Amino acid sequence: MRALVQRVSQARVDVDERVIGEIGYGFLILVCAVDGDSEADAELLAQKIAKLRILRDDQGKMNRSILDAGGEALVVSQFTLAADLSRGNRPGFSHAAAPDVGRELYESFCRLLAEEGVAVETGEFGAEMAVSLVNDGPVTIWMDSMDWAKRP
Cα pseudo-dihedral 80, 70, 62, 49, rounded to 10: -40
Q: What's residue 150's pLDDT?
A: 61
| Positions marked active-site | 78-80
In angstroms, the CA 16 to CA 28 distance is: 20
Position 23 scores a pLDDT of 98
Residue 31's contacts (CB-CB under 8 Å, 6 or more residues apart) are 1, 2, 3, 45, 75, 76, 77, 78, 81, 106, 109
Residue 26, domain extent: 2-147
Length, in residues, of the chain: 152
Residue-level pLDDT at 66? 98
- Domain membership of residue 7 (yes or no) is yes
In a domain, 108, yes or no: yes
Question: Quick one: pLDDT at residue 101?
Answer: 97
Instruction: Please give the tally of structural domains in the chain.
Output: 1
CB atoms within 10 A of CB 111: 14
Is residue 152, in this structure, part of any structural domain at all? no
96 found inside a domain: yes
Residue 112 within a domain: yes
CATH number of the domain residue 43 falls in: 3.50.80.10
Q: What is the pLDDT along the chain (152 residues), one digit of tens a residue?
A: 999 999 999 999 999 999 999 999 999 999 999 999 999 999 999 999 999 999 999 999 999 999 999 999 999 999 999 999 999 899 999 999 999 999 999 999 999 999 999 999 999 999 999 999 999 999 999 999 888 766 55
Per-residue confidence (pLDDT) for residue 151, from 0 to 100: 53
